[in-house]
Amino acid sequence: MADKSEEGMRRALYKKDDLTRTYMLNQMSFLPIRTKNYTESVLDDVALVTHHPLLKPNAKVSGYIYNIGTNGGRDSVKQVYP
């Protein structure tokens, strides 16, 4: 989903008969991943979450890259942190 626009993300997650979901989607911002180095992006997010004041200092944080298979390919998951 890294290549989708904010509006594309909304359309992908939208369900016509679920008004609560529609409302929640309209409140969210879908920030684009601006790099093709997904490992770096995940590690940046992990650093942000790890040092967030609402998380306990000893909370376990993990980071994964989930690749969605295209053209009939298989999905894959790669753990990049820890």
SS3 content of the chain, % helix, strand, coil (to 5): 35, 15, 50
Q: Can you give the pTM of this predicted structure?
A: 0.57
Structural domain of 21: 1-32
What's residue 1's pLDDT? 56
60 shares a domain with 78:
yes
Q: Note down pLDDT in tens along the chain; length 82 residues.
A: 556 677 777 787 788 888 898 888 888 877 767 778 889 989 998 999 999 999 998 999 999 988 877 777 888 899 999 9
**Cα 55–33–79 angle (5° rounding)?**
60
44 shares a domain with 22:
no
15 shares a domain with 42:
no
81 shares a domain with 65:
yes
77 shares a domain with 46:
yes
CA separation for the pair 46, 60 (Å, rounded)? 10
28 shares a domain with 4:
yes
Q: Which of 68, 58, 51, 56 is nearest to 12 (CA)?
A: 68
Q: Two tokens at 32?
A: 């684009």
42 shares a domain with 67:
yes
Do 53 and 62 touch, CB atoms closer than 8 A?
no
What's residue 80's pLDDT? 93
